[in-house]
Structure 1
Amino acid sequence: MFSQLLRERPDLTATVANLVQDHEMIASIVSRVGELADKAAESRGPTLEAIGRELDGLMAIMESHFNYEERTISEALDDGVPDTDWPSRVFGFGRA
């Protein structure tokens, strides 16, 4: 979606770069949470607290990210970018 958006709106390059950076940070946190969860399955205590901290951080970053993404991308999509009906194609499970 980002590449199509950038073709239509190259002025959003910095915004998309910020969003990609957020996605990478979120993926890193999710990976760490997975590693901590594996350790937690074997032990208790500090590992569970570490998972809680990572999840709190992930929640804060995702909330900020989605607010930013919604604010910037929706403005761009509402400003002359043609509607390709991609949500129906992406989320239309089981429909032809």
Structure 2
Amino acid sequence: MASHNTDRAAALSLQLSQAHQELRSRLNDLRTGLGRRHLGDDTLAMRCLAFCDALTTHHEGEDDGMFAQLLRERPDLAETVTKLVQDHGLIASILTQVRELADRALGARGPELEAIGRELDGLAAIMESHFSYEERAIGEALDDGGDGTGWTEPVFRFEGQVRPAL
């Protein structure tokens, strides 16, 4: 029979995967919209900015919430968390570029949307690698969290921060 901690860890692992899937879906929709340009340039630029904010919020929640607590409880995950935080930095630099291009695209027509599309193509590849690794490494730790040591309990004090503010 599963313990309360095991159930909560599995639920957070699932929530993490669902948050990633939502971000994947939104990025795919945004890339499709940019490719088809079925919305106005300003609308597409605003959607780019909203996506950047959502992904940033998600990663900040992980860094300040789940990862920080997980490291306190599971120092054996330090190498994994370090890699994930480094990925967050790389992704943040791409998001900065996308934001700058989207800001320039607002109210003006020009090549910014094509440039945004190229940045988002690269971002999609990095995000997929990052999310897959995180879901395997962190998801496994969360799924195995109900080992009777109680380490998962403090991880859940930040409930809700994994979800992106979309």
TM-score range, shorter chain: 0.7 to 0.9
Q: How does 1:39-58 map to 2 (within 5 A)?
A: 39-41=104-106, 42-45=108-111, 47-58=112-123
Q: TM-score, normalised by structure 1?
A: 0.78
Q: How does 1:1-96 map to 2 (within 5 A)?
A: 1-41=66-106, 42-45=108-111, 47-79=112-144, 80=147, 81-83=151-153, 86=156, 89-90=159-160
Give, in whole Å, the separation in 2 of the partners of 1:6 and 1:87: 14
Gap change, CA 1:49 and 1:83, over 3 Å in 2: same
**Could you say what the CA RMSD is over the residues aligned between the two structures, in angstroms?**
2.2
Gap change, CA 1:66 and 1:9, over 3 Å in 2: same
- Which structure would you say has the larger RCO, counting Cα contacts within 8 Å and 6 or more residues apart? 2
How many residues of Structure 1 are paired with residues of Structure 2 in the alignment?
Answer: 90
Question: Which blocks of at least 5 consecutive residues in structure 2 are unaligned?
Answer: 1-65, 162-166
Q: TM-score, normalised by structure 2?
A: 0.48
Contact 2:101 2:116 in 1 (8 A): yes
Give, in whole Å, the separation in 1 of the partners of 2:158 and 2:70: 17
